[in-house]
A and B are shown apart, each in its own frame.
Chain A
C-alpha cells in the first residue's frame, strides 16, 4: 500500500492554544479512515490545515508524495482532494443542477458533463429536484447534494466533516452505505465524525485525536476496547455505544 496523505509534525498554535500539536498521521491509498475525538481535539483545524485554509505553525503536508504545504486551497483541490463541509455548503440561490455543473465543469466537457451530472443526481436521489433552488432542499438532501458535488470531480481523497450532522437515522444509514460504496470503488476517504454507531458502520481504520495530538490508532474494536480512549472520549460505562 502507498501513502496518499501524510502530515509530518504538523502544528497549528493560536497564541498559547495548541489546536493541532506535532501531529503525524498517514492515510493509505484505499483506506476508509475515521478521525474521532472529543470537542476541541483539533479535528476541524486539522482538516483546515490539509486544505490550506490556515498556514501551519510548523510541519508539512504531503499528498501523493508531493509537498503541498505552500499551495493555496484551490491548487490542493485540483490535485485530487475534495471536501464536504460540516455546514451544508451549497449555492443556495442556484438550481440544484447548476450546483453540480459548477462542481464538475473543470473536470468534464460536454456532453460528458451533462451525463455525469445526471448520474450523480440519480446517485443521491435528486433527479426530481434539479430545477429547485438548492436552498429550498430539505437538510438531508442538501448534505447529499454537497456529497455529490464533492465526489463529482472524482477526487483521490475525499474529506468528510461530520457528513451526517442533522440527518435522520435512516438518512445516516444510507449515507454510510454510500460512503462504503465509494470506498469500494477505490476512493480514499477520511471522515471526521461524532456518531459512534456511524463510525462502527463504516470505518476500517480509526484515529483518535486528543488535545491536538494523535492519541490512539487502530480498528474500531481496538479503539472501543482501549481504556485510555474511553477515559477521554467515550466516557466510562458507554463501552460499545
Chain B
C-alpha cells in the first residue's frame, strides 16, 4: 500500500498528504453511494459530466505536462466516436460487440495520433504551430463529416448522415449469464464512467510522477537542455501526445454510447475550444486541478445554457479570457501554490508589522 502510494505521489502532482487521500477516498465513496439516493436525471447528468473528463486529463498531459497546446482533442474524440458508431452498428449490440467496438475505436484514435504526432514532433513543429496544425486537422475532419449527408456515405450498415450525425448507435453492453446482457445506461453507465475515471486518474498520476514524467516536464521547461542531458525528447513528446489523444478518444466513445448518437458539431470550433477552457481554468499543470476545474466549468456551462446558448458561450469565452489575463496558470493551481500566503496572511502581516516596528525603533535609537 505504501509502495503504491509512493508511485502516485511526487513532485508533479498536488496532494500527497494523508488528508488529501482521505478526502479523495471519501469523495469516491460518496460517488459510489450516490445512485442509491440520487434521482435518475442527476445520476445520468453526472455520468455525462464524467464522460468529458478523460479528454481534459489527456489535454493536461499533452499541454500542461508536455508543453504542447493541442487543439486536436475533439478530432480524436470525434474519430473515436464515429468509429465506435460505425463498428457497433455493423456488429450489433449482442455478444459484447460494443466493447470490441470501443477497443477498436481507441486503437484507431491512437494510430491517428501516432501518425499525426510523428510528423509533427519529428518534423520539429513546436509552440503555436502545434496548435495550428492540430486545429486544422480537427476542422478539416469536422468539415468533411458535415458533407456526408448523401446515401452514398455509408460504411456497411452505418450511414454517416452529414451534419445530422449518426443515430441509433448501440449502447455499451457486455454479455451476462443465461444469455442475458448488461447494458450500460443510467446507473450502470455512471458506475462504468466512475471506475474508468479513477483508473485513468491514478494511472496518469503514476505516469507523470515516474521518470517519464520527470523528463516530460523537463522538456516543457527547456527542450534543448533536456535533449542535451541525453533524452530523445521527441519520443517522450510522442508518447504523451498519443496517450492524451487516446483519452480524448475514450471520451468520444463514452459520449457516443451515452447519447447513442454523434454529430460533426462535436468537433467544430466551439467544441474544439472547450477542452482548452476546462483545463486552463483549473490549471493545466496539475491533474487534480484539471479534474476539478473541468467538472466546475461543465456544471457552469450547463447552468447557463438553460438561459441561452449564445449567452453561455459568451460567458465561457469571457472566462477563458479573464483566466489567461489574470491567472494564466489556472485558479486552483494558483491557490495551491500560494496557500501559505493566502491562508496565513494574518500571521504574515503581524510579522511584517513587527519587523517594521523593529526597524523603526532601531532607527530611533541611533
Contacts and interface: CB of A to CB of B under 8 A. Distances in A.
Given A92-B222, A94-B11, A94-B221, A73 B228 contact: yes
A77 B217 contact: no
Contact of A91 (B217, B230, B231): B217
A51 interface: yes
B214 A102 contact: yes
Nearest to A155: B230
B232 A72 contact: yes
State the main secondary structure of chain B at its contact with A: helix
B225 interface: yes
Contacts of B232: 72, 74-75
Interface in A13-55: 51
B229 A94 contact: no
B233 interface: yes
Given A102-B214, A102-B215, A95 B11 contact: yes
Nearest to A134: B221
A101 B213 CA distance: 12
Contacts of B218: 91, 94, 102
A103 interface: yes
Interface in A136-153: 149, 153
A89 B225 CA distance: 6
Contacts of A98: 11, 214
A72 B222 CA distance: 18
Contacts of B228: 51, 73, 77, 83, 85, 89
B221 A93 contact: yes
Contacts of A91: 217-218, 221-222, 225-226
A90 interface: yes
B224 interface: yes
Contacts of A83: 228
B211 interface: yes
A92 B229 contact: no
A86 B36 CA distance: 63
Contact of B229 (A93, A95, A149): A149
Contact of A85 (B214, B217, B225, B233): B225
Contact size range, A: 20 to 34
A74 B11 contact: no
A95 B337 CA distance: 13
Nearest to B214: A102
B351 interface: no
A90 B222 contact: yes
Contacts of A73: 227-228
B214 A101 contact: yes
Interface in B168-218: 211, 214-215, 217-218
A98 B11 CA distance: 8
Among A51, A75, A93, A95: residue with most chain B CB under 10 A: A93
A105 interface: yes
Nearest to B10: A98
A78 interface: yes
A77 B230 contact: yes
Among A74, A89, A98: residue with most chain B CB under 10 A: A74
A95 B231 CA distance: 19
Interface in A74-131: 74-75, 77-78, 83, 85, 89-95, 98, 101-103, 105-106
Contacts of B214: 98, 101-102, 105
Contacts of B221: 91-94
B11 A90 contact: no
Contacts of B222: 89-92
Nearest to A80: B230
A101 B215 CA distance: 10
A186 to B, nearest CB: 20
A216 to B, nearest CB: 29
Interface string B227-242: 1111111000000000
Interface in B4-38: 11
A72 B228 CA distance: 10
A78 B227 CA distance: 10
Nearest to A98: B11
Contacts of B227: 73-74, 77
A74 B231 contact: yes
Interface of B: 11, 211, 214-215, 217-218, 221-222, 224-233
5 contacts: A85-B228, A90-B222, A91-B221, A94-B11, A101-B214
The 5 closest A-B pairs by CB, nearest first: A77-B230, A89-B225, A91-B221, A74-B232, A78-B230
Given A77-B230, A98-B11, 18 more contacts: A72-B232, A74-B227, A74-B230, A74-B232, A74-B233, A77-B227, A77-B228, A78-B230, A89-B225, A91-B222, A92-B222, A94-B11, A94-B221, A102-B218, A102-B229, A105-B214, A106-B231, A149-B229
